[in-house]
Amino acid sequence: MPKDMIIEKSVAVNKNIEAVFNYLKQTRNQDNFSVWNMKDPAMKKTYAGTDGTKGFIYSWDSTDKNVGAGAQEILNIADNSRIDYELRFERPMKNTGKSSFIVNKINANETSVTWTFASPTKFPFSLLAPIFKKMLGKQIETSLQHLKALLEKQ
């Protein structure tokens, strides 16, 4: 079984790279497109630092078992290129993962957004990795479609 689960999904957005990147770098905007953020509007959220900058931490705590509790920290930002995060899950399972948004200019008015997620999978959970990968992949794809629709409306 693989030691790491790696998921990568992409979408093309009919918007210039600056507009897409500037929207994505504001972590709080994930409330508008991420299926996990949207799943429990009543979840408790806390923020530390300046959103859109290295070191910003968004923490969540939900009674919904599919959302759980944890924190997301911006580790690195490269303007109009990528945003890297560390995800620290507390519930329903304790784990640490890495996630990134990578943006690439397709042309003046179109941008590719790739969302990556990587997480170690330890036995016995490694046996379920293919199921988790498929489920999380669909959730990332849905979130990217939400992002596309939202940005193309603006």
62, 83 contact by CB (below 8 A): no
What pLDDT digit, counting tens, does each position of 1-45 carry? Answer: 567 889 999 999 999 999 999 999 999 999 999 999 999 989 999
Total-model pTM: 0.90
Four-way CATH pick for 4-153: 3.40.50.40, 3.30.530.20, 3.90.600.10, 3.40.630.30: 3.30.530.20
What pLDDT digit, counting tens, does each position of 54-77 carry? Answer: 999 999 999 998 899 999 999 999
Residue 20, class by beta-carbon neighbours within 10 Å (0-12 exposed, 13-18 middle, 19+ buried)? buried
69, 62 contact by CB (below 8 A): yes
